[in-house]
């Protein structure tokens, strides 16, 4: 038996999964439209650059 989950709205926009405050800033996890997990660390310091971790999916408009 196959279960099909209806997905009428196909979006490639990343979905925020969780958000954690750390001593250095905010760490957020996203699930990309392609299904890949991405981590973005946003420092509290305005002079520090946000860091993103995670691979890239070729052809994905968000992470490819």
Dihedral sign, Cα of residue 49, residue 39, residue 33, residue 17: negative
Cβ at position 34, least distance to Zn ion in Å: 3
Q: Which of residues 20-39 bind Zn ion (CB under 5 A)?
A: 32, 34, 36
Residue 63 interacts with Zn ion (CB under 5 A): yes or no: yes
Residue 62 interacts with Zn ion (CB under 5 A): yes or no: yes
DSSP string, 9-47: ----S-EEEEEEE-SSEEEEEEE-TTS-EEEEEEESSTT
Cβ at position 1, least distance to Zn ion in Å: 30
* Pair of tokens at residue 5: 């989950």
Q: Among residues 48 and 52, whose Cβ is nearest to Zn ion?
A: 52
């Amino acid at each position: 038996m196959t279960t099909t989950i209806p997905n009428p709205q196909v979006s490639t926009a990343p979905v925020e999964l969780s958000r954690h405050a750390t001593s250095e800033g905010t760490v957020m996890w996203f699930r990309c439209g392609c299904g890949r997990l991405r981590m973005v660390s946003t420092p509290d310091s305005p002079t520090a650059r946000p860091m993103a971790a995670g691979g890239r999916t070729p052809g994905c408009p968000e992470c490819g």
